[in-house]
Structure 1
Amino acid sequence: MAAKLDPAVVHNREADETAALAARHLVQPWPVAGSIGAESRGAIESGDGIYVTDGEGRRLIDGPAGMWCVNVGHRRAELAQVLHDQALALSYNSPWYTTSAPSVELAERLAAHAPVDLGHVFYTTGGSSAVETALRFMQFMNNVRGRPEKKLIVSRQGGYHGSTYLSASLNGRPRDHDWMDSASDQVIKLTCPNPFRRPTGQSKAQFCDFLVAEFRAVIEARGAEKIGAFIAEPVMASGGVIVPPAGYLPRMRALCAENDILFIADEVVTAFGRLGEVFASKTVFSIEPDMITFAKGVTSGYFPLGGVMISSKLLETLRQSNHSDAMFAHGLTYSSHPIGCAVALKNLDILEGGLLDHARAISGHFQAALKRLEALPLVGEVRGLGLMACVECVADRVSNNPLTLDLEVGKRIDRHCQELGLLVRPLINMCVMSPPLTITMGQIDDMADILDTSIRRTMDELVCEGLWKG
């Protein structure tokens, strides 16, 4: 009689086989040339609530909520049921010449949460395609209005807006452009609105004045008749959870209005509860954009969906133009996907049913618990808003040197965190967190304790290796 294999042995063998197959066949996102198409990354096998289980069987707090997206948590049976039910009722319809009931109902629900004038939605498959759609809409509108020269796009250093050709061209992180082509001739990048990196001796109010003056100078130099749109994440997410100085966004919005420049709020991360609101632009930041892009949390990652909320005034302008036959020749096979829209509707039910209130109630505790990490010598700043935060490490607090001696410090901290039960998102010298909104105060304290221990372990490593004096 054959002996039974230890389940752990079987599990490890299957994990090894999966890793080998990944390295043989799978091209991962954002690979480096030296390992492209031959890389195996750490496996995540299951999720439950705020936790995921990795390939080694470790139960980890999902600090990044997947990729800023699993807002209502993992393993929500009601979302899985909607996926099942909608797939059986209608798995797909072509948006070119038909409409599904879930897409229409979702449009109405989203419009109710958006600023008053943003009453229309164009659905996409994610954040990159949402930003691409907003930009192409700007180009189309200016062509129809007889202003083909009004196409320049203003973004900011440090920002992230996507991976399609045009959306990626807006990104303000140098490494995003080192080896990739972009539409650089169509984009103007302003200074990153990061108060932590403002010039020495400059107050936050003075820094804000500088940022606004810089935009005004760009408009004067390049000409308002040449600039079609300004795009901004209300909080720069992948740039390190950068919260701009007070008054910055309303003042930038005013400049756009004065110069007939479309203001696009990229809420791919900040929407759907991350800051306690379905859309944060007006309620949190006191701005009413011309367009809002969204994705990620709209379905909590259970189905790929994104979109653009578009001003009714813009659409009315197009309808009153002299070119009624002008076609906005843009669309996606999976625009308005009935399954995605059905999941988004149930996701909204969960958010509106108390989760938004919960997120607002615990956000203060989340920020305060992490802020205490600033007591550690390696930590230059802990910043954030709502349920998103960043721990930025520095070599010293005088120059705020971003640890140029060890650009892997974020990965070091993440490695220790995983050993202790927490997954964070490492970004060079930073660790970013945006946990599921269902997190409790006790679980927040667990996150903070694990980070504290992990940063201390990292400090000890850096000192032992002679990379940091402490």
Structure 2
Amino acid sequence: MTAPSAAFFAQFDDDKLVAADQAHYLHGYHLFDDHRENGALNIAAGEGAYIYDTHGNRYLDAVGGMWCTNIGLGRAEMADAIADQVRRLAYSNPFCDMANVSAIQLCEKLAELAPGDLDHVFLTTGGSTAVDTAYRLIQYYQNCRGKPEKKHIISRVNAYHGSTFLTMSLGGKVADHPAEFDFLKDHIHHISCPNPYRAPDGMTEGDFLEFLVKEFEDKILELGADKVAAFFAEPIMGSGGVIIPPRGYHQRLWEICRQYDVLYVADEVVTSFGRLGAFFASEAVFGMQPDIITTAKGLTSGYLPLGACIFSERIWKVIAEPNRGRCFSHGFTYSGHPVSCVAALKNIEIIERENLLAHVADVGAYLEQRLQSLAELPLVGSVRCQKLMACVEFVADKRSKALFPEELNIGEKIHLRAQARGLLVRPIVHLNVMSPPLTITHAQVDEIVDSLRDAILETAADLQRSGEYAGH
């Protein structure tokens, strides 16, 4: 991995790129007015934990692309593995009675890494399609069991499960449900976000846990246990603000799922492949055994699109019962794409060979420690970090935890000041979220925290001068 030369950047006409982008490119989460006025930050290159814009400015990408550049950018051996597979077999039909070697090898490896009896894999094109597949698999499973009424799904406020029609309906972020879009409402229900910082006044963390457990059981009983099919949960909520639930939360809700014959779906699109120091976090970090795990992002470290829905022997035995003449009529043209699967296999090899899970345990503890030093700053209400998932929540008043008006967009203000210092964090209204590559060093952690500290202090001073912040 080497930094690009000045000659590389000289080829770009940024004015033309901006004009073409504004004229033709509809981005994910496109902010029409802002994009029309300011354009986008056009990225041309990347190496390790850094990316470069078309002017050659370098940024430490503390967002990790989109929670995904786990092994870092620009790996020559990854490029070679991908190129070799393209030459050998660029594509293969994934349907019915055809398979390709790299897809088979990857499914075998995922079954080895996944906890318990999660031995069966459906390969998808990304996280949204993995969650979509899990939903369809659950419907299929319940119908095969002779339980066609058992279709209700429980999710959570502030959850994010993808951006297809179905998965965005499963999600529970208010900002992701604008009036201009339609959403599925029947059979999908949302319970409280397990955010200890926003627990009702006077509740200890233990009290809050009991409240959440009771709320979940009450929702199952309200709907009818014979009607509830599954519970979808991220081990740590990602886009909802790096919400780390009270200790024991996942174990307790998993026990209730077992009691009422409800499938537990762990959406590990973000938390798997090392971000929390394990290949999968459900059992290794949170001590529970889900029925289904969805994964993507770190599966290939973002080098190519790929996702997976990994499910249990219990489900397999029902859907694949012999002599039923059944067909699982679901699939994607690019399911099990041989080049993407080779990228995933090489990615896993690198994580294992370089002992990156142990590195995450070390550097993640250091990030947790350094970020907590920001808690004393003005504007900072909460600092949440577990290994390489982190979030700083900004408030107008530390005592009351009152938020700034949404239109102030405090997270964006701080993000832009950090960007000017060569640091990229992800702004989500009142939050700055971080998920750096697993390869990040202690020195780069210092760079993140020091630059973010300066950006927060500068923003606080500007808001005080303008009268928009009282300094509480």
Give the match's secondary structure for 1:231: strand
Amino-acid identity (%) = 44
- Maintained 8 Å contact 2:406/2:430: no
Q: Read off the aligned partner of 2:92 and give its amino acid letter.
A: N
- Maintained 8 Å contact 2:124/2:336: yes
Q: Could you tell me how far apart the structure 1 residues matched to 2:34 and 2:431 are?
A: 24
1:135 aligns with 2:135: yes
In structure 2, what is the equivalent of residue 344 of structure 1?
A: 344
1:413 aligns with 2:429: no
Give the match's secondary structure for 1:392: strand
Deviation at 1:33, TM superposition (A): 5.5
Deviation at 1:12, TM superposition (A): 8.7
- Maintained 8 Å contact 1:23/1:38: no
Q: Could you tell me how far apart the structure 2 residues matched to 1:337 and 1:9 are?
A: 31
Q: Could you tell me how far apart the structure 2 residues matched to 1:36 and 1:60 are?
A: 20
Deviation at 1:39, TM superposition (A): 8.0
In structure 2, what is the equivalent of residue 60 of structure 1?
A: 59
In structure 1, what is the equivalent of residue 168 of structure 2?
A: 168
Deviation at 1:31, TM superposition (A): 1.9
Q: Could you tell me how far apart the structure 2 residues matched to 1:406 and 1:148 are?
A: 45
Note closer, same or farther for the CA distance 1:225–1:236 as it changes in structure 2 (3 Å cut): same
In structure 2, what is the equivalent of residue 443 of structure 1?
A: 444
- Maintained 8 Å contact 2:406/2:429: no
Q: Could you tell me how far apart the structure 2 residues matched to 1:141 and 1:436 are?
A: 37
1:23 aligns with 2:1: no
Task: Say which is worse superposed, 44-53 or 173-182, in terms of deviation.
Answer: 173-182
Map 1:167-206 onto structure 2 (within 5 A).
167-179=167-179, 180-206=181-207
- Maintained 8 Å contact 1:23/1:39: no
Q: Could you tell me how far apart the structure 1 residues matched to 2:341 and 2:470 are?
A: 53
Deviation at 1:109, TM superposition (A): 1.2
Q: Read off the aligned partner of 1:19 and give its amino acid letter.
A: V
- Maintained 8 Å contact 1:124/1:306: yes
Note closer, same or farther for the CA distance 1:120–1:9 as it changes in structure 2 (3 Å cut): closer
1:332 aligns with 2:332: yes
Map 1:100-249 onto structure 2 (within 5 A).
100-179=100-179, 180-249=181-250
In structure 2, what is the equivalent of residue 383 of structure 1?
A: 384
Give the match's secondary structure for 1:73: coil
Deviation at 1:229, TM superposition (A): 0.7
Give the match's secondary structure for 1:327: coil
Deviation at 1:64, TM superposition (A): 0.5
Q: Could you tell me how far apart the structure 1 residues matched to 2:100 and 2:194 are?
A: 41
Deviation at 1:340, TM superposition (A): 0.5
When the two structures are aligned, how many residues end up with a matched partner? 463
- Maintained 8 Å contact 2:9/2:56: no
Summarize deviations over 1:100-132 as a string: whole Å, max 9, x none.
Answer: 111111111111111121011100000000000
Q: Read off the aligned partner of 1:157 and give its amino acid letter.
A: V
Note closer, same or farther for the CA distance 1:406–1:319 as it changes in structure 2 (3 Å cut): closer
Q: Could you tell me how far apart the structure 2 residues matched to 1:405 and 1:190 are?
A: 23
Q: Could you tell me how far apart the structure 2 residues matched to 1:214 and 1:233 are?
A: 18
Summarize deviations over 1:255-294 as a string: whole Å, max 9, x none.
Answer: 1111111100000000001001111110000010000000
Give the match's secondary structure for 1:417: helix
Deviation at 1:34, TM superposition (A): 5.0
Deviation at 1:397, TM superposition (A): 1.3
In structure 2, what is the equivalent of residue 361 of structure 1?
A: 362
1:72 aligns with 2:74: no
Deviation at 1:57, TM superposition (A): 2.1
Give the match's secondary structure for 1:121: strand
Give the match's secondary structure for 2:106: helix
In structure 2, what is the equivalent of residue 305 of structure 1?
A: 306
Q: Could you tell me how far apart the structure 2 residues matched to 1:105 and 1:399 are?
A: 54
Q: Could you tell me how far apart the structure 2 residues matched to 1:343 and 1:327 are?
A: 29
- Maintained 8 Å contact 2:144/2:318: no
In structure 2, what is the equivalent of residue 429 of structure 1?
A: 430
Structure 1: 5+ residue runs without aligned partners? 1-6
Deviation at 1:37, TM superposition (A): 8.8
Task: Say which is worse superposed, 356-365 or 453-462, in terms of deviation.
Answer: 356-365
Q: Could you tell me how far apart the structure 1 residues matched to 2:9 and 2:358 are?
A: 44
Map 1:2-13 onto structure 2 (within 5 A).
11=10
Deviation at 1:95, TM superposition (A): 0.6
- Maintained 8 Å contact 1:292/1:308: yes
Deviation at 1:406, TM superposition (A): 5.3
1:285 aligns with 2:286: yes
Note closer, same or farther for the CA distance 1:13–1:288 as it changes in structure 2 (3 Å cut): closer
TM-score, with structure 1 as normaliser: 0.95
Task: Say which is worse superposed, 44-53 or 397-406, in terms of deviation.
Answer: 397-406
Summarize deviations over 1:6-56 as a string: whole Å, max 9, x none.
Answer: x79984961111111111111111124557899831111110101011233
Deviation at 1:390, TM superposition (A): 0.2
Q: Could you tell me how far apart the structure 2 residues matched to 1:176 and 1:216 are?
A: 26
Task: Say which is worse superposed, 232-241 or 52-61, in terms of deviation.
Answer: 52-61
Note closer, same or farther for the CA distance 1:418–1:33 as it changes in structure 2 (3 Å cut): closer
In structure 2, what is the equivalent of residue 3 of structure 1?
A: none
Q: Could you tell me how far apart the structure 1 residues matched to 2:176 and 2:55 are?
A: 32
Note closer, same or farther for the CA distance 1:9–1:357 as it changes in structure 2 (3 Å cut): closer
Give the match's secondary structure for 1:339: helix
Q: Could you tell me how far apart the structure 2 residues matched to 1:178 and 1:49 are?
A: 36
Deviation at 1:407, TM superposition (A): 3.6
Deviation at 1:248, TM superposition (A): 0.5
Give the match's secondary structure for 1:302: coil
Summarize deviations over 1:82-106 as a string: whole Å, max 9, x none.
Answer: 1100000000000113111111111
Q: Read off the aligned partner of 2:268 and give its amino acid letter.
A: E
Give the match's secondary structure for 1:285: coil
- Maintained 8 Å contact 1:406/1:467: no
1:94 aligns with 2:68: no
Note closer, same or farther for the CA distance 1:57–1:324 as it changes in structure 2 (3 Å cut): same
- Maintained 8 Å contact 1:360/1:386: yes
Q: Read off the aligned partner of 2:56 and give its amino acid letter.
A: G
User: Aligned-pair RMSD on alpha carbons?
Assistant: 1.8
In structure 2, what is the equivalent of residue 49 of structure 1?
A: 48
Q: Read off the aligned partner of 1:72 and give its amino acid letter.
A: I
- Maintained 8 Å contact 1:103/1:341: yes
